[in-house]
Chain A
Amino acid sequence: MTDAQKYALVATGLLFSFVAPFLLPQFATQLTMLWLMVIFALTWDTLGGQMGYNSFGNILFFGIGAYGCAVIQRDLGLDYFAGLAVGLAFAAVLSAIVAIVLGAGMLGLRGHYFAIGTLGLGIAAGEIAGGWDYVGAGSGMVPPLYPVELAGRELFFYFLMFALALVTFLVLRALYATKFGLALNAIRDDEDKAEAMGLRTTQVKSLAWAVSAFFLGIGGGLAGNLLGFIDPRDVAFAGATFGVWMVLMAILGGKGTLWGPVIGAVVFHITQELFWTYLLGWQRVALGLLIVAIVVFFPNGILGTLRERFPEWFGEKVEERV
């Protein structure tokens, strides 16, 4: 693909994203969820793909964001939009801080041990939230309602989520192009070597998780408001659905690539919605088969497979001196 073709493709996608909720108003909420999926996959890939640390606990930051935002909205007594803004900011910062604190202990674990360790995070958080009266315990929380006198609730959340996905993408793209981005890749490829070369690996890993948690926290705050109900186990800390999906979407699109998680999220979400529509009753089975198929046939994901077939598209070439 030439650069011009790539830009044309991206421009078409952006244009469609702007007009989609107007063209397909009945799908507005589903389209908003699509952007949430993109955020899931992008933020998971920062650790899982770029840094090689497979986290099964990232859902923790989504849940913390959902609850953190809702608590601020409930307790500060601001009007709806101000409360939402402060709540989202709080959700972001709280999630990032939790990531740094947890990271200090957990990011010393390597490989499978880290994956297993993180598996407990979401489950533990779900149990705690489900038993804590301050956040509604088992009956969950209901964030304040979008003002009824105003129309356009769907569009409001659509464009907020879209903006968040776009900003997340652009920030991560900028980060991956820095020395920090290369340090992530170095840790993925050989952490012992990175240490032997004097890289400050602990700092790099903590910051990476904090960045990931920051955006995931905002996503959680938005999602809580969008769905209108925060259940501790089925929404906020839904490890078996959202928590697994974020891993799968990143793998499907191509771990450790910039566009892979975006592509993976879009393909996965659309497929999933089609299953719900056309295979009702069997949608979970179909989803399970899809997951198996992804792991068996696309272990390197869509972009990873393309990179194997066409390495020159990705700038891998022998170049003689001119």
Chain B
Amino acid sequence: MSALLKIENVSKAYGGVVANRQVSLEVQSGDIAGLIGPNGSGKTTLFSSIVGAHPIDSGSIQFGGQEISKLDVPTIARRGLLRTFQQTRIYAEMNCVENMRISAPDARAPVLSLLSGFSRNVDVRAEELLDFVGLASKRFLRAGSLSFGQQKLLEFAMALMSEPKLLLLDEPTAGVNPTLINGLIDRLIKANKELGITLFVIEHNMRVIMNLAENITCLAHGEVLAQGTPQEVRDDPRVVEAYLGASA
């Protein structure tokens, strides 16, 4: 096992507000890693820093052994590091199949090689993945007309379609109804085991993250509070205090 993602001493401040302070963590290749912490603890900021959406103030972010903290978002995405958004983002006026087609790796090619139709392989793969997330019957509907939960599933399928090495998921179960959540957990684990995609997941639902992740990092006030297995993190009195505000 090697570190696919290595974050060292990353700090990021917005004006006077320090969102991340000296954060260091590693995500091992093939792992499912979790990121938890109370609201405002800097989880989404850290994700945005990793994918290059805003520059970090100091520190280093390495992906597959290469420094990526100075690269822009599309370049990092093309290297196989992708995120999904907390507020789901899909292409609302396009149907599900089109959403999937434009997420395929060949859509990221230089513009002149986009001047061709869609390969059979892409369409077959799109069908498989829409089947995988249970949206096959909705594939010709406008993505914007789907329910929020279905849009989350579509966004997840789009992420899989682009064949990332590492997928950052920002609250994949937020707003999804409880019966769908179990199915979603199964699919996340399947994507990890069968497709070999390393996952790094922000999650507020403790039941979900404890069942899903093999390693968990807890942030509070922008700093790493605890790291370890789900059991270790859950039993850490500082984590309990950060969440409940009580001195346990």
Measured CB to CB, the residues of A under 8 A from B are 175, 177-180, 182-183, 185-186, 188-190, 192-201, 203-204, 206-207, 256, 315-321
Contact = CB atoms under 8 A, between A and B. Distances in A.
Contacts of A175: 115
Contact of B116 (A179, A196, A198, A256): A179
Given A179-B116, A179-B118, A318-B137, A196 B111 contact: no
A199 to B, nearest CB: 6
Contacts of A192: 89
A82 B35 CA distance: 69
Interface of B: 51, 53, 73-75, 77-78, 82-83, 85, 89-95, 98, 101-103, 106-111, 114-118, 136-142, 145, 158, 162
Contact of A319 (B51, B92, B140): B140
Contacts, number: 115
A206 to B, nearest CB: 8
A183 to B, nearest CB: 6
Nearest to A318: B137
A178 B90 contact: no
Given A190-B90, A193-B90, A199-B107, A321 B116 contact: no
B101 A195 contact: no
Given A316-B140, A319-B140, A179 B106 contact: yes
Contacts of A193: 85, 89-91
A262 to B, nearest CB: 20
Nearest to A174: B115
5 contacts: A179-B114, A180-B114, A189-B93, A199-B74, A318-B140
A312 to B, nearest CB: 10
Given A179-B117, A190-B91, 15 more contacts: A178-B117, A183-B102, A188-B93, A189-B91, A189-B94, A190-B89, A193-B90, A195-B77, A196-B73, A198-B77, A198-B162, A199-B107, A203-B110, A206-B111, A318-B137
Contact of A207 (B98, B111, B139): B111
A266 B91 CA distance: 31
B34 to A, nearest CB: 21
B149 to A, nearest CB: 17
A178 B116 contact: yes
A10 B21 CA distance: 64
A320 B145 CA distance: 17
**A-B pairs with the 7 shortest C-beta distances?**
A198-B77, A189-B91, A203-B111, A180-B114, A179-B114, A198-B108, A193-B89
A254 B36 CA distance: 46
